[in-house]
A and B are shown apart, each in its own frame.
Chain A
């Protein structure tokens, strides 16, 4: 009979093998990264453009991105889609605050052909009026449906408080923003931020160097000569806002603040604080608000990064009748971290958990590439993750308390509750 009362012996994770992609310089400022270590026939490319929401007027960056494959003087949007699909490509394209990324997943044998199709479509898109009209109508419909979701509403309101000092970051569309989009505005944005806006290329897949060099030539016409500045001093607006929504069964809560990114000296240790508070199933927020009180299906916290800054966010959907109790319990958990030292067994639990998850996030060529890119964004190499490992081993309960007192004061938070 095995001894079921005792956990089998654990082996600690001391080191992780990190493998970086190979870097090619498309220009002095635009890199191409190639991760070759893929074990099967899959491949991916990502094209990063300096075409984020912060670069344009309301909605224009999003509409431009949505129309990238909408047709050229010689091809309709359907023809472009047929070309991509007959090569088995899966497209992902989206706009964030500070960039726009066009990604393609496909088999290795088809990557170069699909790349040609995509680059031709992006280069020659002519923004036909009927395609503009169709996209705006589709987006407006989606927007109206999203307005019915408490989570989306809360996220919108929260962003406007979080990015309070810069409305290009806080951008929130209204119904009228989907009407009367001028073709000339889209063309102008496209010209500036796509045709001369490529800032980074990533290729994952088992390709020979020769193939990569051939593809590198294709990107040359699109390179950005310089990347404009990003706001590194966005300021949030603390305070609590409660919005009632008739008929809602749940209330969506978002609470957080501007914080920092990997460049900051407290970043590594705050990763640990964030995990304890809300970034795993056994976190303080989950243990209290879900597993003890049963107020919610899920609650969590996260850290997000921008080019020059970063922010911290807590999010949940709770029964409408327990909105205020939940806010009180969140506050209680922050105060508890500020006033009581985290017990050693919990420290050890979070250390082990974080190391295991870091091992997992370095598992395989795709995960490793994403890990690399997350460091590269802030000018760091994969050595950064060795620093993460050291920091996880070294952090003390006193340091957790210090950071919590410094950064997690309830009165400093922007809080929104919708529902």
Chain B
């Protein structure tokens, strides 16, 4: 059970407080309700570029990092297709420094041309390091537009192409800030060994005078149901053939969301999962295989990916692959299989919720989805999943007309 208190400021900022008496550290986690899905198609990669600019100094404070380090703390942030999340971890005694810094950059940024110029280069290097200069690094750049034809999930958070980042202007940056970076568009969670009254006092002190912004009504084109099998093969200078079977699934708030998650575990979470046993150990077709869900807020993907063994063709795998899918449609999973996955889910949740930072992030994310308290009901929802549920969801999901297949063919003549 993750205990928390919730209060809201007049300017719309939602605050969660999670008391943890066991740690000398404190966490300030702020989730802004903006991600790559909020970008326009001719200016992609912007939410993420903007995350970098949030460290380039704010209206009253020339540098973000130095005062935090002086307080013995450190910070980081990440951007996804759905959200942008910032966090500071520092000794609880110095928590006020984090609130001072975070409130000032919520108030306004410094917007220096130097910061924009440098962070554009840094992000371009990140683009190369993570997506272009890695074997298989560009798979998501290729796969997304095959699956998503109208929803903005068709581009990756890093952006569609480097050019969009190169062309970002100061005007774009300011517009983005005004639209998305204000109290009503943020959820903050404070975790640590403090009293609620003290938290309320400090939060009011630093955040109450930030002007309320206008809430942005999100109206994204939703991706229609997929009705035909899609397939694309790309050739790359990689040593080994790789495959990515991608099935459309329901959105994060759908009652079946956790069933999809469990289904992916049954298929390929570990070395006793179905596909590992059958396609790797029994048939020797693949060197590795994994299954997972993307976890996005709007309709996401269940992905099964892996690499072929030398001498095996995509066709050989494909035939065996669909036989495995059919088995899930035809027969229920065994009790053993289901129990094994449930204990793994229970164990990993217990480890995950160990760190106060993870708890703070999860509380913010669940609050965004509707109610932070949902985090406390996840285990019972997993436990209620039955073999019938899995079969039902498999029957509507693991079928060819709901699948997009991306194959990466090795072009190396070796």
Contacts and interface: CB of A to CB of B under 8 A. Distances in A.
A359 B135 contact: no
Contacts of B133: 150, 248-250, 317, 419
Given A11-B94, A141-B240, A145-B240, A88 B121 contact: no
A317 B344 contact: no
A281 B74 contact: yes
A94 interface: no
Contacts of A353: 69-70, 72-74
A332 B61 CA distance: 29
A81 B271 contact: yes
Interface stretch (B122-130, B227-235, B369-377, B399-407): B122-130
A149 B134 contact: yes
Interface stretch (A25-33, A36-44, A372-380): A36-44
Interface string A147-174: 1111000000000000000000000000
Ranked nearest first, the 7 interchain pairs of A and B with the lowest CB-CB distance are: A356-B72, A294-B121, A88-B347, A88-B343, A8-B96, A144-B239, A11-B93
A8 B99 CA distance: 9
A317 B129 contact: yes
B139 interface: no
A76 to B, nearest CB: 8
Interface stretch (B10-18, B78-86, B112-120): B112-120
B82 to A, nearest CB: 23
5 contacts: A8-B94, A42-B350, A90-B351, A250-B133, A356-B90
B67 interface: yes
A282 B66 contact: yes
Contact of B343 (A40, A87, A248, A360): A87
Secondary structure of the B contact surface, majority rule: helix
Contact of B71 (A77, A105, A352): A352
B129 A355 contact: no
Contacts of B61: 4-5
Interface in A333-370: 348-350, 352-353, 355-357, 359-360, 363-364, 366
A92 B240 CA distance: 25
B226 interface: no
B122 A290 contact: yes
A348 B71 CA distance: 10
Contacts of A208: none
Contact of A297 (B66, B126, B340): B126
B97 interface: yes
A137 B344 CA distance: 29
A228 B70 CA distance: 45
B72 A317 contact: no
Nearest to A360: B25
Contact of B287 (A77, A137, A357): A137
A89 B307 CA distance: 25
Given A8-B97, A78-B277, A359-B72, A138 B354 contact: no
Interface string A244-279: 000111100000000000000000000000000000
Interface residues of B, number: 77
A136 B240 CA distance: 15
A293 to B, nearest CB: 8
A297 B122 contact: yes
A325 to B, nearest CB: 13
A141 B287 contact: yes
A66 interface: no
A107 B347 contact: yes
A211 interface: no
Given A4-B104, A8-B96, A352 B23 contact: no
B214 to A, nearest CB: 23
A179 interface: no
Contact of A359 (B25, B119, B307, B339): B25
Contacts of A364: 22-23, 354-355
B288 interface: yes
A282 B69 contact: yes
Given A107-B350, A148-B238, 20 more contacts: A8-B100, A11-B94, A40-B354, A81-B271, A88-B343, A138-B288, A141-B240, A145-B135, A145-B136, A150-B133, A250-B133, A281-B69, A281-B74, A294-B120, A319-B125, A353-B74, A356-B71, A356-B73, A357-B74, A363-B24
